[in-house]
Amino acid sequence: MEKSKVLVVGGTGYLGRRIVSASLSQGHPTYVLQRPEIGLDIDKVQILLAFKKQGAHLVEGSFSDLESLVRAVKLVDVVICPMSGVHIRSHNILLQLQLVEAIKKAGNIKRFLPSEFGFDPARMGHALEPGRVTFDDKMVVRKAIQDAKIPSTYVCGAGFAGYLAVNLSQMGTLVPPKEKVLIYGDGNAKVSIVDEDDIAAYTIKTIDDPRTLNKTLYLRPPENELSQKQLVEMWENLIGKKLEHISISEEDFLASMKGMDYAGQVGAGHFYHMFYEGALTNFEIGEEGEEASKLYPEVKYTRMNEYIKIYA
């Protein structure tokens, strides 16, 4: 079967550039939207040029110019939009409404994968303010997709390893603690932690797979469903040293959020749902979804005991 042509919108971002690489490596004709708003951001320009050298096609388009998006969309079969919804970077979820409009107008797209990848927003109606804005915005985009009758796949369920693994899930740092580690509650809530390269590989696997059409693909590889205590124990065994464990109760954690700025409160709210509720893993996957590692056993996903060795 001929491989679908893919347009990645947000292809220079943290996850987007991995999705472009995965698309190229899996043999898909790959297009990357080049937005004029890139301006003098030399890092992004160089990422785009590197992709061009690898065989990707750069196509110009802007969210402020609907017709330019329509032209870009008409070149491909599948659109993937891993735009940031993380406030410490940027929060652009609702920009996708313009992309939905372009896909609707173009009329040729057989699959759209919007910006999801973390919590399943359909399960987060109870989420704390202000962090719930991420989930509310994603549900607005989902409704627009459904109203426009655009075929879709939602890729959900992963805690990004770069933000949660090596730092032992400590907030405010991305490197491992040296002496003390903060444990959320009893530290036993399970979190699905996935290498971002594996997230990208699974994402690209879905696009020509009828089993994932109009479904949610959950990223829950079983060996990477870990509690914080298990993650800390892995690290302690690796370095041959026991850290001081400091437990923070649910009440104290929620109280600590009050002194944070807006972006900090958003992030802390997400940590709360992850580590006190286990919201990435505290449900059974029903008929609405599939689990990535079961569908695609050929993806040899990175286990976290291997992932964290880089800092040992």
Tell me the mean pLDDT in the region 251-258. 96
Q: What fold is seen in the domain 6-311?
A: Rossmann fold (3.40.50)
Q: How high is the pLDDT of residue 219?
A: 98
Under 8 Å between Cβ of 272 and 249: no
Q: How many helices (H) and strands (E) does the chain have?
A: 12, 15
Tell me the mean pLDDT in the region 8-12. 96
Residue 5: CB atoms within 10 Å: 16
Query: SS3 breakdown of the chain: % helix, strand, coil, rounded to 5?
Result: 45, 20, 40
Residue 164 phi, psi dihedral angles, 5° rounding: -125, -20
Residue 218: CB atoms within 10 Å: 25
pLDDT at 273 over 60: yes
* HSE-CB for 287 with a 13 A CA cutoff: 0
Residue with tokens 């652009």: 92
Active site residue 215: no
Cα three-residue angle 195-201-207, rounded to 5 degrees: 140
pLDDT over 70 percentage in the chain:
98
One-letter amino acid identity for 4? S
Tell me the mean pLDDT in the region 249-256. 98
Q: How high is the pLDDT of residue 90?
A: 65
Averaged pLDDT of the chain: 96
Q: How high is the pLDDT of residue 39?
A: 86
193-214: pLDDT as tens digits = 999 999 999 999 999 999 999 9
Tell me the mean pLDDT in the region 236-260. 97
* Integer Cα distance of 224 and 216 in angstroms: 19
Tell me the mean pLDDT in the region 15-22. 98
**Which of 104, 138, 190, 205 is the catalytic position?**
138
Residues 6+ positions from 167 with CB-CB distance below 8 Å: 173, 174, 175, 176, 177
pLDDT at 252 over 80: yes
Tell me the mean pLDDT in the region 118-144. 96
pLDDT over 90 percentage in the chain:
94
> Would the CA dihedral through 223, 224, 230, 235 be positive or negative?
positive
Q: How high is the pLDDT of residue 83?
A: 86
Q: How high is the pLDDT of residue 38?
A: 87
Residue 206 phi, psi dihedral angles, 5° rounding: -75, -25
* HSE-CB for 278 with a 13 A CA cutoff: 15
Residue ranges per domain, the chain? 6-311
38-97: pLDDT as tens digits = 888 999 999 999 999 999 999 999 999 999 999 999 999 999 999 876 655 667 899 999
